[in-house]
Amino acid sequence: MSISRRKVLALGAGLGAIALTGFKSSIAFADDAAAQAAIDAFAGGASIGEGRVSLTAPEIAENGNTVPVSVDVESPMTDADYVASVMILAEGNPNPGVVTLNFTPMSGVASSTTRIRLAKTQNVIAVAKMSDGSVFMDKKLVKVTIGGCGG
């Protein structure tokens, strides 16, 4: 049996059509429980307080691919009292954990700015763990617009 170029092209076109129409997948988003489980694991059983953490994010993000966020934590950053780490989460992303930042007293300040990707309108959460084991949190709702329309 010989295979001609015409048969190869027809087979390729058929496989391409099946791949485009027959294998549809949907995006799986994390739920609030996954984000809460990540926060609980990060906190290590400590109660989560408010204050000391300041999360800055836009109220409306025109492009969910590059959303600027910054986090600042009030701390003297001395050997006795400093910010050990900060975790940023996006509740509605397929994987809620975005980044974990580690600090030392030599950092001087506990502050960072980055850009994150958001799949849809959702809460962005910053959780800070201090050197004494205390944990603080701040949360902002970011509306992601799609094609210039509010989401």
Q: For residue 134, what are the domain limits? A: 28-144
108-146 per-position pLDDT tens digit: 999 999 999 998 999 999 999 999 999 999 999 999 987
Contact 91, 122 (CB under 8 A): yes
Kindly provide the b/e burial profile for residues 102-127, where b requires at least 16 CB atoms within 10 angstroms of the residue's own CB.
ebeeeeeebbbeeebebebbbbbbbb
149 within a domain of the structure (yes/no): no
In a domain? residue 53: yes
CATH number reported for the structural domain that contains residue 109 in this entry: 2.60.40.2470
Supply the pTM of this predicted model: 0.77
54 found inside a domain: yes
Q: What is the pLDDT of residues 35-62, one digit of tens each?
A: 999 999 999 999 999 999 999 999 999 8
Q: How many structural domains are present in the chain?
A: 1
In a domain, 2, yes or no: no
